Structure 1
Amino acid sequence: MSDRLRLGFLCAHDPYDRNSFSGTPSYMLDALQRCGSVELRVLGPWRPGLWGRILRKLRKRMGAKVGVPRASEMAGLDWVIIPVSSHLVAAHPEGAPGFVHVTDATPQFLRDFYNYDIPPESDKGEAAAIGHAAKVIYSSDFMARRAISEFGAQYAPRIHAVSFGLNLETLPPPPEPKPAPQPFLQLLFVGRDWQRKGGDVALAATEALNRRGIPTRLTVIGCDPGGLDGRADIEVIPFLDKNRPEDYARLTRAFAEAHFFILPTRADCTPMVVAEANAYGTPVLISDIGGISSLIEPGQNGEMLPPDADGNAYADRIAALIADPQAFEALCASSYAWCRDHLTWDAWANDIVKTLETS
């Protein structure tokens, strides 16, 4: 009889679609499948391959939703991993194996920091999920502590923190040293919400560096803030589809070519675009907010600035970091190493397994 951990994987989002929930469930599933110490069973209606894509399109047209599988479908499992699907955990059936609720935020956090209009029923649903789950795993220590504060210290023994991984197909090989910032310094901003992600601050930092005589260009991916057409110092790519090889290649090239990834975000949980940048040896400059401190080790893979830091503050930090070429090269190398050791989905899967095995 196998001594491997027998896991189920259940999600309301399509785990075979790289665009579904930013690809997070898909990368989780792949990492768990690579984990040699587990036997994995995908639950629910999801199927891989061409037939699976056809079925998913039909389900979408019909408006079908994912429900909790029958107990017979989960027979023999030790645990069921359920990412970002609180309602499925809350509907925990009698006699099922231990449900593991994996998420990155509480409803109240989303209201407070994102100004999302989330109905009060969501708090009840999240409380039910935490109450029904055998384990609750947040993506940051910050959010784990917040959940205990919001829902009660009695849940503390079942609440854990494991950082999410980077949403890339594979970890690239160690990068070559980045070229000197000549003829220009390349900054990269990736985000769908220009205002919330602090795109205006990234733009102000670019302009400040240019005024100081440090030729700088900013590439914006994921949104179109408007009003930037024709500027030689700005490139805007409104959308890239990771399911398309040419778009995926363009995204990874942008990470590799950047000297810094800049994200002066005003509200975030644990943005794994940090890990994507680090995977290409690109240090990150980002706001110290939410669970970001679980991703950034200052001096190793980037720097955190106060949430109210303006473009000049980011420009100051960038100018200081490139003033010493050897120190900048070392920061790029350690950014890759930090990602490899701490911020991959394989690291996430191994930490999940360890958490469950020690229970």
Structure 2
Amino acid sequence: MLKIGYVVNADVNDKTQWSGTIFNLYNILSKKYEVDPIVLETKGLDKWFYIKQRLKQILTKKSSTNMMVPYSKLKSKKLTNLLQQSGKKYDILFFPANSVAAAFVNTNIPIIYLSDATFHVMINYYLFNLDERSIENGNMVEKQALVNANQIIYASDWAKNDAINYYGINVNKINVLPFGANLIDKFIKKSFETNKQINLLFVGVEWERKGADIALECLDFLNRNSDSKYKLTIIGLENPGTIKNDHVNFVGFLNKNNQGDYDKLIKYYQDSDIFILPTRAECAGIVFSEASMYGLPIVTYDTGGIQSYVEDEVNGFRLPLEKKGKEFAEKVEFICNDPNTYMTFSKNSRTKYENSLNWDKWLESCDRVIKKCLDD
């Protein structure tokens, strides 16, 4: 059986790592291959670089990043030593979101690097106020990791296009494999009546970036202007104390490592009618795969890698970033004003999940990437 060295920074069973993606990638690869976690625990090194970053932020008012060349070289050296000392033979090294370790590792083992974004597209998108040295170092580490990899997997065309256009990476070694849902499949076929309460679901842990304000505006507009009644459930955020609205349910953070929280999250997906996430920045969005798994039509912004998950006017709508709560409400109403329209969007979401947004489909495509990697 082909043996994969799975290079991570913490326990692969931790479902909070990268929204559960590290855990799910490990498990789906293990269905077909022998997957050996190579855990690069560098707590002392990580702490030292964190203190250095904080001091820079205090003294210069500029942000830094862990994608510094010296840090990357130290991580890569630790990995190189681990590979040499273990005596284990691997057919492939697989790096999920770990360009820092992949950039300078010294090995003849073929490398597959996976990510949902490039460093370049994250500047002033997720990463703000970086100093020039951090930007220069980040781009150097990213470029070296991409050059070092035999094959690259991205979660969206958005990331792929930047790797080609900015870093000049050969298109022949880049593959787009959308992420699956990081929940078990307990789908219950939807039914829909316009005279019942319509349940909106929002899942996100950052108020501003995820657009909680727009979701609340949308809810307010719907309940003031629609014959139907709408309720919004917000998972991942606490009520800041200023929201006085009986139609809003703040659930707070649900930890997927906790079985009770995990089951609650699934129940909210099952009981909801529409998934709304006015996120202003998103590399991929596992939640879109999860919403599609449960047959939820999706209303979101057209940004980042979302295009690979939400097809406009098929399983939902992607709105321009300048649109506000009113426009989100209009799309929700369009979907919900007619049961046949709702059921069409719901079926399309489930079909999108079954055809491309699940880990079994991901594994089929990854198997082809592994074959290409070994043939290089």
* TM bucket, shorter chain: 0.7 to 0.9
* 1:284-307 superposed Cα distances (whole Å, 9 cap, x missing partner): 111111111111123432221112
Indicate the residue corresponding to 1:285 in structure 2.
299
Q: CA deviation at 1:8?
A: 2.1
Are the counterparts in 1 of residues 103 and 148 from structure 2 also a CA contact under 8 Å? yes
Indicate the residue corresponding to 1:53 in structure 2.
none
CA distance in 2, matches of 1:44, 1:186: 41
Q: 1:187 aligned to 2:200? A: yes
Indicate the residue corresponding to 1:130 in structure 2.
146
* 1:70-116 superposed Cα distances (whole Å, 9 cap, x missing partner): 14647543221110111111122133x11111011122211232243
Letter in 1 for 2:157: D
CA distance in 1, matches of 2:21, 2:261: 18
Unaligned runs of 5+ in 1: 46-55
- Residue 117 to residue 25, structure 1, CA distance change in 2 (3 Å): farther
Letter in 2 for 1:321: I
Letter in 2 for 1:218: L
* 1:207-254 superposed Cα distances (whole Å, 9 cap, x missing partner): 110111331111111123524544201111221111111111111111
Letter in 2 for 1:274: F
* Range that drifts further, 289-298 or 200-209: 289-298
* 1:182-224 superposed Cα distances (whole Å, 9 cap, x missing partner): 4321111111111111111111111110111331111111123
Indicate the residue corresponding to 1:48 in structure 2.
none
Indicate the residue corresponding to 1:240 in structure 2.
254
Q: Which of the residues 113, 118, 124 maps onto 1:112? A: 124
Indicate the residue corresponding to 1:268 in structure 2.
282
Equivalences for 1:2-151 in 2 at 5 Å? Answer: 4-35=1-32, 38-44=33-39, 67-68=78-79, 69-71=82-84, 73=86, 75-95=88-108, 97-118=109-130, 119-120=134-135, 121-151=137-167
Are the counterparts in 2 of residues 90 and 126 from structure 1 also a CA contact under 8 Å? yes
CA distance in 1, matches of 2:201, 2:290: 12
Equivalences for 1:304-343 in 2 at 5 Å? Answer: 304-343=318-357
Q: Which of the residues 162, 187, 200 maps onto 2:177? A: 162
CA distance in 1, matches of 2:314, 2:190: 16
* Range that drifts further, 184-193 or 298-307: 298-307
Letter in 1 for 2:28: A
Corresponding residue SS for 1:43? strand
Q: CA deviation at 1:157?
A: 2.7
Letter in 1 for 2:19: S
Q: What's the RMSD between the two structures over aligned residues?
A: 2.3
Q: CA deviation at 1:319?
A: 0.9
Are the counterparts in 1 of residues 192 and 343 from structure 2 also a CA contact under 8 Å? no
Are the counterparts in 2 of residues 14 and 25 from structure 1 also a CA contact under 8 Å? no
Q: 1:347 aligned to 2:361? A: yes
CA distance in 1, matches of 2:87, 2:318: 43
Q: CA deviation at 1:63?
A: 6.4
Q: 1:251 aligned to 2:265? A: yes
CA distance in 2, matches of 1:290, 1:102: 17
CA distance in 2, matches of 1:28, 1:351: 13
TM-score for the superposition, normalised by structure 1: 0.87
CA distance in 1, matches of 2:105, 2:363: 23
CA distance in 1, matches of 2:194, 2:263: 22
Q: CA deviation at 1:62?
A: 9.8
Are the counterparts in 2 of residues 32 and 346 from structure 1 also a CA contact under 8 Å? no
CA distance in 2, matches of 1:74, 1:320: 61
CA distance in 1, matches of 2:83, 2:5: 13
CA distance in 2, matches of 1:72, 1:331: 54
Indicate the residue corresponding to 2:71 in structure 1.
none
TM-score for the superposition, normalised by structure 2: 0.83
Corresponding residue SS for 1:281? coil
Q: CA deviation at 1:280?
A: 1.1
Letter in 1 for 2:158: F
* 1:147-171 superposed Cα distances (whole Å, 9 cap, x missing partner): 1111115x33322221111111x22
Unaligned runs of 5+ in 2: 48-73
CA distance in 2, matches of 1:130, 1:151: 8
Corresponding residue SS for 2:199? strand
Are the counterparts in 2 of residues 275 and 343 from structure 1 also a CA contact under 8 Å? yes
Are the counterparts in 1 of residues 186 and 266 from structure 2 also a CA contact under 8 Å? no
Size of the aligned set, in residue pairs, is 338
Equivalences for 1:190-209 in 2 at 5 Å? Answer: 190-209=203-222
Indicate the residue corresponding to 2:54 in structure 1.
none
CA distance in 1, matches of 2:217, 2:250: 15
